[in-house]
Structure 1
Amino acid sequence: MDDLGAQLRQARLEAGVTLASIAARTCYSASHLSNVEAGRRTATPDIVLAYARALGEADVRRRDLLAAATIGPIAANELIRNGFTAALAGHRDGVDRWRDRVDQYGRDYMEIGADSLQIRLANDLVVMQQQLDSPIMWATAARALTTYGKTTKDPTEAIGWYDTARVAADRSDDLAVRVWVRGRAAIALAYEGAALPVAQRYADEALGLSDRPSLGQVQALMARAHIAAGRGDTAAAIVADEDAQRVFERTASPDGEISDAAVPAWRMATFRSMLYARLGLIQRGEQAQINADRLRPASLTRFATHIELHRALMMAKAGDGPSGLTHARLAWAALPTNRRSQTLGLVLREVERAAGQRR
């Protein structure tokens, strides 16, 4: 029996809460949750959060489960202390303040290391999940959960958080947020070349929800382009890229905006630089790299490293594997350890594979 499922069942029974009550807080049936408790199904983050909310505000077991099951390697003691401090003080931040804090996380994601951001965001998520009492709060949580997924260590873990963010976004009934969460998750995975079927599902969902031009739609279309590139379909990749560019021209964020929720021209150029490097389209790739370097704010050193890795990938694709590999490893080594990310690591491995194929 899965230990977490058994713990969830014991905590639920001790609190006198029914499976039907838990099911009402998720998109899962009572029978599915029964299988989770029996260890026959996985206790996904959205399920754990639903149990956490249903089992009350002052249940130590509930808080311990939330910290251990959904936050992972972060110190549970710190999360428990912060969560109880907020609960005992009866403190509730207003909706506007939560939105401001999540906006700040979006800005911080662009400039600081994932580990530092993850710890801060996890603490806020523990408190925020007690306050999901309005559509606006669900929308705010969906954005925070999407950013949290970007701070994780591997695509599988990230997908769990993206799925939770999708559930939260759907609870908000905010169409723009529902599209953005799916589009952001799609481009995150597709850019990394990871879990392409999942990226395809997110992109298709985003584009199926609305045909209104938006940043979520731009990212979903760019995800489709990267997915096609990953499958070796150059023609489909170029069509999706051109579609994304047309939507981008109508929805682009201001050049000076720094946020994970934004897509200014330098970031669009970064998406396209990676795409063209994958496709081996050297001239297009070089122009996208020039645009990204020219327009990108100087503080975003991690994204400068992205472009250097794209250049390395183009070298390898062009037949000079050793030079591409050397360029990539020097760019990786030059970036401080606390600025590195899961995404950069996956791009580096893609360069290594391309260089190996050419040897």
Structure 2
Amino acid sequence: MDDLGAQLRQTRTEAGVTLASMAARTSYSVSHLSNVEAGRRAATPDIVLAYARLLGEGEMRRRQMFGLAAGVVAPVVTGELIRAGFSAALRGRTAEEDWRERVDQYGRDYMAVGAVALQSRLTNDLVVLQQHLDTPVMWSHAARALVTYGKTTPNPAEAIRWYDLARVAADRSDDLAVRVWVRGRAAIALAYEGAALTTARRYAEQGVALSDRPSLGRVQALMAQAHVAAGRGDQASAVALDTDSRRVFDLVASPDGEVSDTAVPPWRMETFRSMLYARLGMPGPGTEAQEEADRTRPADLPRFATHIELHRGLTMVKSGDRAGGVAYAQRAMDALPVERRSQSLTLMLREVEQAAARQRA
């Protein structure tokens, strides 16, 4: 048996986590993880990092998992640092140009790649990137990368820690647009999921206060405020903020064909609005937003199609069809491959179930 695989298995069993549970939480199959633990497959950095992230609770186990992860990831990071430096120099490129393209690519990959696979790659790049934080532009690239990293983490509390780092990095960039965007993106990420609404509100208020210039950051901050108002049951404020957000969006909307986490094309704006009106129990504007999102969304984004289906399930529940709405949402989730799912989808499904339970009570 491979020593590293055996250590992963020992740590998992000592933590009381079954192989099936580990597979569900990491998006790897049971058979794949079983082969890794048995030494029949290599324990790649992404798998070791996933084990470290999920099993590293308690001081002793945290130290143990950190040692395992460092032993596997450090050589990868060192090699990447050397390769990236030489490759950029040979192409006559600056670190700023190289990292701009790399972070832009992560924004595009976020829309299609599973969170676990994306996070393992981004982990290595963030370790490399922190060696280059010697100009304001590099801090701006780091800020955007940290937001993306936060969105790949498994729970809102962990995401907030990364969003807070992203805000500090953005402030060091001295780039007002990046400072607004980081706060707006973090705010809508939390508010759309219905998670940590107090923090989402704080991020959004900061973004709105920094600048009244039309921007995608401001669009997302205003939309986050709308979702926060919906969470409080304040329908009038939510609708008014949606109107304000759409007014700014009309000035700065991303092109239809742009697919990136940094972009807000029409289909994505309608996805934000679809969830807003599902929460408000307003099927008229909600249905319009759902249909527009389905009509304009690129066909190769099944995860975001599932978002809309879960919104439809919530709309059904809010309209009184509790069992039908929950079943509809569950079928939509089941139809999406496990590796394509996200924390946002998990939280939305839970919201559908909780809305049904509240109506039952």
Compute the TM-score of the two structures, normalised by the length of structure 1. Answer: 0.78
1:1-359 residue pairs with structure 2 within 5 A? 75-87=69-81, 91=85, 93=88, 94-359=95-360
2-side partners of 1:88 and 1:210: how far apart?
A: 40
1-side partners of 2:84 and 2:185: how far apart?
A: 34
Q: Which amino acid aligns with 2:274?
A: S
Unaligned runs of 5+ in 1: 1-67
Contact 1:277–1:285 (CA<8 Å) still a contact in 2? yes
Unaligned runs of 5+ in 2: 1-61, 89-94
* CA displacement at 1:105 relative to structure 2: 0.4
Go from structure 1 to structure 2 and tell me whether the alpha carbon gap of 1:238 and 1:293 turns closer, same or farther (over 3 Å shift): same
Q: Does the residue aligned with 1:260 lie in a helix, a strand or coil?
A: coil
Give CA deviations for 1:34-74 in whole Å, capped at 9, x if unaligned.
xxxxxxxxxxxxxxxxxxxxxxxxxxxxxxxxxx79x9899
Contact 1:74–1:119 (CA<8 Å) still a contact in 2? no
> 1:20 aligns to what?
none
Q: Does the residue aligned with 1:240 lie in a helix, a strand or coil?
A: helix
1-side partners of 2:175 and 2:355: how far apart?
A: 41
2-side partners of 1:151 and 1:299: how far apart?
A: 20
Go from structure 1 to structure 2 and tell me whether the alpha carbon gap of 1:74 and 1:192 turns closer, same or farther (over 3 Å shift): farther
Q: Which amino acid aligns with 1:283?
A: G
Contact 1:293–1:304 (CA<8 Å) still a contact in 2? yes
Contact 1:109–1:117 (CA<8 Å) still a contact in 2? yes
* CA displacement at 1:97 relative to structure 2: 1.1
* CA displacement at 1:88 relative to structure 2: 5.8
Go from structure 1 to structure 2 and tell me whether the alpha carbon gap of 1:219 and 1:294 turns closer, same or farther (over 3 Å shift): same
2-side partners of 1:103 and 1:290: how far apart?
A: 29
Cα RMSD between the aligned structures? 1.8
Q: Does the residue aligned with 1:298 lie in a helix, a strand or coil?
A: coil
2-side partners of 1:169 and 1:136: how far apart?
A: 10
Give CA deviations for 1:60-116 in whole Å, capped at 9, x if unaligned.
xxxxxxxx79x9899433331122224567926521111101001000000110000
Contact 1:113–1:340 (CA<8 Å) still a contact in 2? yes
Go from structure 1 to structure 2 and tell me whether the alpha carbon gap of 1:87 and 1:333 turns closer, same or farther (over 3 Å shift): closer
Contact 1:185–1:202 (CA<8 Å) still a contact in 2? yes
Give CA deviations for 1:144-183 in whole Å, capped at 9, x if unaligned.
0000000000000000000000010000000000000000
Contact 1:79–1:122 (CA<8 Å) still a contact in 2? no
> 2:7 aligns to what?
none
Contact 1:135–1:171 (CA<8 Å) still a contact in 2? yes
1-side partners of 2:143 and 2:352: how far apart?
A: 33
Q: Does the residue aligned with 2:85 lie in a helix, a strand or coil?
A: coil
Q: Which amino acid aligns with 1:228?
A: A
Runs of 4+, deviation exceeding 2 Å: 71-79, 82-93
Go from structure 1 to structure 2 and tell me whether the alpha carbon gap of 1:334 and 1:88 turns closer, same or farther (over 3 Å shift): closer
Contact 1:320–1:358 (CA<8 Å) still a contact in 2? no
Go from structure 1 to structure 2 and tell me whether the alpha carbon gap of 1:72 and 1:163 turns closer, same or farther (over 3 Å shift): farther
Q: Which amino acid aligns with 1:77?
A: G
